[in-house]
Homo-oligomer: A and B are copies of this chain.
Amino acid sequence: MTIKRDNILNVSLELFANQGYVNTSTSKIAKAAGVSEGLIFRHFGNKEGLLDAIVAIGTQSIEDYTTELLNENDPKKIISQAIDFPVIIMKENKDYWQLVSSLKFQSPEIAAKYHNTEIFKQLEEILEKAFTKLNYENPEMEMKYLFLTIAGLSSMHKQNKDEEANLNLVNFIKSKYIN
């Protein structure tokens, strides 16, 4: 029953992420998932409904990770884990992350619909507090700077396949914050 539905979900996440949402036709999805095209519309109404379902799943697992950080008290651990964020995310949710990034470049309506700020606002607060605890001169700026670095790491992971090099860089950045 839900096997085919899951099939559609998995296949279209992969296709949307790697070929783009607009470039992926429903018939392509149907073929790749081994289902009839009609089933897609039976389950998800229309193509955008399918996109909604996919994004919702991925968002959940990222929220789970942020919640972990909320329960952490040691500021150095928080910073360290925040730097790990792209590594973790990219490993387990590579396709999801790429899809969400790509949606920012779609039409303004689509971009707005899937632009999730809440998770990041939380992360920002946590990080700023961590820097405050560590007596940094300018915690807000430090937080913004680190956030930038994390954003950069995300886009790097998307392009660079050399995992060892990526990990070296992650550790190098960590060493700037934790001695």
Contact = CB atoms under 8 A, between A and B. Distances in A.
Interface string A146-162: 01111111011001000
Contacts of A147: 152
Contacts of A141: 168-169, 172
A107 B23 contact: yes
Contacts of A10: none
A156 B120 CA distance: 13
Interface string A135-179: 000100100110111111101100100000000110011001000
Interface stretch (A14-22, A31-39, A47-55, A61-69): A14-22
Contacts of A148: 149, 152-153, 156, 169, 173
A102 B145 CA distance: 24
13 contacts: A18-B107, A18-B108, A20-B105, A101-B105, A102-B102, A141-B169, A145-B149, A145-B172, A145-B176, A147-B152, A149-B149, A151-B156, A152-B155
